[in-house]
């Protein structure tokens, strides 16, 4: 049975005011937002062809970038920002972070941390926390009747490890966590990439390994 194999991109940005680079809570201006309120979150349409995914991603980003300009704001695609612990705690309290379950998994047993909140408190000795922004790659496969075909553990391992191996320098430089993924109804998402990585390169590698398993 030939499967329909699809990929979608999800990318996070910080939304900043142009005059002082302060973080704006995107939901207050009706931008698509991450659940914890300090990140804009854009998604492509999932599809089986690289160029179609890239096209829908570019259209989404272009629309919202224009909206940001209207409000004198900008997207900041750095993979992390250092802010006071009190700022991170504000986001956790306001968006109920303590009660949000961590559904992430990791292919490496020795790694226990995750980016499910995107906040790492007490990052340095100056009372700062690390806010992180990533790029998530969604993998799915369906049959001809559009039924989701689950990935096996071996397939997930193969895909995640390939992506880790290709993008390891960028992942570690951005303080991201290798091997991180999360189950989804449509398949799973790979979560280790920083937000500032090249989308075309990511899609090229993602489609290559998805079609190989």
HEC string for 171-182: HHHCCCCCCEEE
Q: β-strands 4-17, 187-194: how paired?
A: unpaired
pLDDT at 43 (0 to 100): 94
For the chain, 213 residues long, the average pLDDT of each consecutive 10-residue run is 92 96 93 89 94 94 94 95 95 83 93 89 94 97 94 98 98 96 97 96 98 95
* Domain extent for 175: 4-212
pLDDT at 2 (0 to 100): 84
CATH classification of the domain holding 21 = 3.30.590
Count structural domains, the chain: 1
pLDDT at 95 (0 to 100): 86
pLDDT at 34 (0 to 100): 85
pLDDT at 112 (0 to 100): 86
pTM of the model: 0.94
**How far apart are the C-alpha atoms of 205 and 213, rounded to whole Å?**
13
Are 106 and 179 in contact by the 8 Å Cβ rule? The answer is yes
């Amino acid at each position: 049975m030939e499967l329909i194999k699809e990929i979608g991109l999800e990318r996070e940005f910080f939304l900043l005011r142009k005059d002082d680079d302060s973080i704006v809570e995107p939901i207050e201006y009706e931008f698509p937002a991450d659940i914890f309120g300090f990140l804009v979150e854009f998604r492509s349409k999932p599809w089986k062809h690289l160029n179609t995914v890239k096209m829908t991603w570019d259209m989404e980003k272009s629309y919202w970038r224009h909206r940001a300009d209207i409000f004198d704001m900008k997207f900041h695609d750095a993979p992390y920002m250092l802010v006071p612990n009190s700022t991170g705690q504000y986001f956790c309290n306001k968006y109920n972070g303590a009660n949000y379950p961590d559904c992430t998994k990791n292919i490496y047993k020795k790694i226990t941390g995750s980016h499910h909140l995107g906040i790492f408190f007490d990052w340095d000795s100056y009372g700062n926390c690390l806010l992180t922004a990533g790029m998530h790659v969604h993998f799915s496969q369906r049959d001809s009747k559009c039924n989701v075909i689950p990935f096996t553990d071996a397939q997930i391992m193969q895909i995640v490890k390939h992506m880790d191996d290709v993008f390891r320098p960028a992942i570690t430089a951005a303080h991201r966590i290798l091997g991180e993924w999360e189950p989804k109804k449509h398949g799973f998402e790979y979560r280790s990439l920083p937000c500032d990585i090249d989308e075309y390169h990511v899609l090229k590698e993602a489609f290559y390994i998805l079609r190989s398993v």
